[in-house]
């Protein structure tokens, strides 16, 4: 059955002239080449319209008249590039209609979508869309009184162009079709704010780094270039959304191209969370998730597929120009070894774009398994990396296991986080771009609790002993960086004499082999890890350094933490030889007739190999 047949009732009721119906049918029929996320979004829209017709969607309603009104309003504005009257493309009409058209089916007629997440490649008319949306709701939105609209980004500079474009368009509108409105309402504006005094309505620009947001209760909030915000700006966003809770008209819009650094990025967290929900068919009814992106990095070499992340290519006169510019940009980035920049900005795909990065972002993300690993009674190699004041102290647990005959490794870690060099954990999170409090809630971290903010070695040791005993772990080796670890190791050795305890030199010569091994196992898909924000941050922070002796990991900045990865590679120093005849341990000479056999090995010798 074709999509036109499947959605016959929708087409009959709403008509192919509706911007959402026409665009969705073109996407689903592959008349407009689209990525998987947009196919799912369009399928959802058509199903929702069908459910509204048959009465199974009662909580929300699609206001076709309102959707048509904002699309018509957009044609009154000037094109941001040419200065000519704006002619919205099919994707732009679709997006505006989706954002404004869906309402809550009650007396308040509030916005259905409380959170709107939009992402596409650069130079695809994002500023035009935002200006249309904000200016329309500034002039005609609800409630009738006291509407507060905020346009924000990482700093004022990143909102300047959008705000300037809105004021320039209003200058044209007040001289033309809205001359009467201006006379009635007396709309004012300056460099930072537009106002309608008569209705107490404001539209202002904010900086996530400097503008207070707690005192206002915004009706509409827009975060432009969302990928630029780090974990330290999350509180700014929360201060905006917290004031919207009791406002049915409120809507928060996040819009951006993908970014080059996922660590601590609220946008990347939202992107992963919404992607997983969309794929499972569990996306909240109050979330609009629209992402135009390539499906595969290999599409870098297929210009005809670039419309997936560059929806303006649906306009034939723009397609040739956009493709030509992108080809030149691609070739330049390939020749300079900076293809990750092209993949992010022009294909709208998240990347770990650090030079000499240890792992690609997709290698880390594809290794994440949300189902818990059964570690009870399993063999494990433990890596230890100690710090006290600035860096984290980390314990890494490497569990070898087989999956369909294939040797794999599960990595689990626990970090102990000091706050001695910063005033509190909030400052530490902002500095390191890691959500330590979330990690602690999930069981992957312990934040220093003493008044000095230092790591307590006794606490680390006791945590390790409890973890080993509660999970009945079969410790195959304890591998550690010897720096300042003497007391810890002496204590461990006195309690667990049977453990194989091995110091690992931290030079390239010692670390090169396990570093390469771990990298290759990630590439092969043989590494599994939990959805641990500390471990994922460390793996994407790590970069490679090298000399004639090989490679090892390092970090570009002191605040880009890799301690848990250091501990992991320590564990693999011996763990990579699991189920092989090789080892990095030099066997000590012994005068015993049993050599260096363990008690279990002596027992097995007499039980299995000795008989009369």
Non-local (6+) Cβ contacts of 29 within 8 A are 2, 3, 4
pLDDT digits (tens, 9 = 90+) for 100-119: 999 999 878 899 999 999 99
Class of domain 362-575: alpha beta
pLDDT at 610: 47
Question: Where are any strands of DSSP class E within 180-268?
Answer: 188-189, 193-196, 201-207, 220-224, 251-256
Averages of pLDDT over runs of 10 residues in the chain (612 residues) are 92 96 97 97 98 95 97 92 89 98 90 97 92 96 92 91 91 93 93 94 91 76 95 89 88 96 92 96 97 96 97 94 95 91 96 90 94 96 88 96 96 95 87 93 94 90 97 96 84 93 92 97 97 96 94 89 96 95 71 60 61 48
Q: Which two tokens stand for residue 535?
A: 């471990």
Nearest to 254 by CA among 213, 294, 221, 209: 221
Residue pair 100/64 in contact (Cβ under 8 Å)? The answer is no
Architecture per CATH, domain 108-291, reads as 3-Layer(aba) Sandwich (3.40)
pLDDT at 498: 92
Q: Which helix (H) or strand (E) holds 533?
A: helix 533-541
* Alpha helix (H) residue ranges in 176-213: 179-185
pLDDT digits (tens, 9 = 90+) for 472-496: 999 999 999 877 778 899 999 999 9
pLDDT at 598: 61
Q: Residue 51 has what DSSP assignment? A: H
At residue 287, what are phi and psi to the nearest 5 degrees? -115, 130
Residue pair 118/255 in contact (Cβ under 8 Å)? The answer is yes
Please classify residue 300 by burial: count the beta carbons closer than 10 Å to its beta carbon, then call 0-12 exposed, 13-18 middle and 19+ buried.
buried
Q: Which two tokens stand for residue 265?
A: 């990025």
Do 108-291 and 362-575 have matching folds? no
Question: At 261, is the secondary structure helix, strand, or coil?
Answer: coil
Residue-by-residue DSSP string for 52-121? HHHT---SEEE-HHHHHHHHHHHTTSBPTTT-SBP---HHHHHHHHHHHHEEESSTT--BS-SEEEEE--
The vertex-157 CA angle with 153 and 161, nearest 5°, equals 90
Q: Which two tokens stand for residue 470?
A: 């509660």
* Alpha helix (H) residue ranges in 205-265: 234-242
Question: At 332, is the secondary structure helix, strand, or coil?
Answer: helix
Determine the Cα–Cα distance for residues 303 and 90; give it in Å rounded to an integer: 20
User: pTM for the full model?
Assistant: 0.85
- Cα 485 vs. chain centroid, distance in angstroms? 35
Residue pair 317/93 in contact (Cβ under 8 Å)? The answer is no
Where do the domains of the chain lie? 108-291, 299-347, 362-575
Please classify residue 451 by burial: count the beta carbons closer than 10 Å to its beta carbon, then call 0-12 exposed, 13-18 middle and 19+ buried.
exposed
Determine the Cα–Cα distance for residues 433 and 448; give it in Å rounded to an integer: 17
pLDDT at 1: 79
pLDDT at 446: 96
Write the CA distances from 514 to 101, 189, 428, integer angstroms.
Answer: 56, 62, 30
């Amino acid at each position: 059955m074709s999509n036109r047949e499947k959605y016959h009732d929708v087409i009959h009721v709403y008509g192919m002239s509706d911007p959402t119906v026409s665009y969705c049918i073109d996407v689903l029929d592959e008349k407009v080449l689209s990525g998987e996320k947009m196919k799912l979004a369009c399928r959802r829209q058509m199903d929702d319209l069908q459910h509204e017709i048959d009465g199974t969607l009662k909580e929300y309603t699609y206001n076709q008249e309102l959707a048509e009104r904002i699309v018509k309003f957009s044609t009154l504005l000037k094109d941001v590039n040419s200065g000519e009257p704006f002619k919205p493309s099919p994707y732009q009409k679709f997006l505006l209609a989706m954002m404004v058209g869906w309402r809550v089916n009650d007396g308040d007629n509030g916005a259905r979508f409380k959170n709107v997440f939009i992402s596409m490649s650069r130079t695809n008319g994002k500023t035009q869309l935002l200006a249309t949306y904000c200016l329309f709701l500034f002039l005609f939105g609800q409630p009738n009184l006291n509407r507060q609209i905020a346009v924000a980004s990482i700093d004022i500079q990143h909102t300047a162009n959008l705000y300037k474009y809105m004021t320039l368009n209003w200058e044209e509108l007040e001289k033309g079709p809205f001359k009467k409105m201006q006379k009635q309402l007396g709309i004012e504006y300056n460099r930072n704010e537009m106002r309608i005094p008569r209705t107490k309505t404001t539209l202002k620009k904010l900086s996530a780094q400097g503008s207070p947001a707690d005192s206002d209760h915004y009706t509409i909030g827009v975060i432009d270039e969302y990928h630029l915000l780090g974990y330290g700006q999350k509180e700014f966003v929360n201060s905006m959304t917290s004031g919207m809770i009791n406002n049915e008209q409120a809507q928060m819009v996040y819009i951006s191209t993908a970014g080059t650094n996922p660590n601590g990025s609220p946008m990347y967290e939202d992107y992963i969370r919404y992607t997983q929900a969309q794929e499972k068919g569990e996306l909240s009814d109050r979330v609009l998730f629209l992402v135009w992106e390539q499906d595969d990095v290999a599409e870098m070499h297929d210009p005809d597929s670039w419309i997936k992340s560059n929806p303006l290519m649906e306009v034939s006169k723009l397609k040739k120009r956009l493709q030509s510019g992108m080809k030149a940009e691609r070739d330049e980035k390939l020749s300079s070894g900076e293809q990750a920049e092209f993949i992010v900005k022009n294909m709208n795909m998240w990347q770990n774009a650090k030079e000499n990065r240890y792992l690609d972002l997709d290698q880390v993300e594809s290794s994440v398994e949300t189902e818990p690993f059964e570690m009870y009674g399993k063999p494990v190699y433990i890596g230890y990396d100690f710090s006290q004041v600035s860096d984290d102290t980390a314990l890494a647990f490497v569990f070898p296991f087989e999956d369909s005959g294939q040797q794999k490794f599960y990595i689990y870690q626990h970090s102990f986080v000091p706050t001695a060099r910063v005033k509190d954990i909030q400052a530490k999170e902002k500095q390191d771009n890691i959500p330590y409090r979330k990690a602690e809630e999930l069981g992957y971290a312990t934040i220093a609790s003493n008044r000095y903010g230092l790591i307590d070695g006794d606490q680390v040791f006791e945590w390790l002993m409890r973890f080993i005993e509660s999970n009945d772990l079969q410790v195959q080796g304890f591998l550690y960086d010897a720096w300042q670890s003497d007391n810890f190791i002496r204590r461990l050795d006195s309690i667990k004499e049977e453990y194989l305890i091995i110091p690992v030199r931290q030079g390239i010569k010692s670390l090169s082999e396990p570093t390469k091994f771990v990298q290759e196992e990630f590439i092969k898909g043989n590494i599994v890890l939990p959805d641990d924000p500390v471990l994922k941050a460390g793996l994407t922070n790590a970069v490679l350094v090298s000399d004639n002796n090989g490679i090892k990991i390092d970090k570009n900045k002191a605040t880009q933490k890799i301690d848990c990865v250091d501990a992991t590679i320590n564990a693999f120093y011996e763990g990579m030889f699991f189920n092989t005849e090789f080892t990095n341990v030099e066997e000590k000479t012994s005068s015993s007739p049993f050599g260096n056999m363990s008690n279990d090995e002596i027992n097995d010798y007499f039980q299995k190999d000795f008989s009369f």
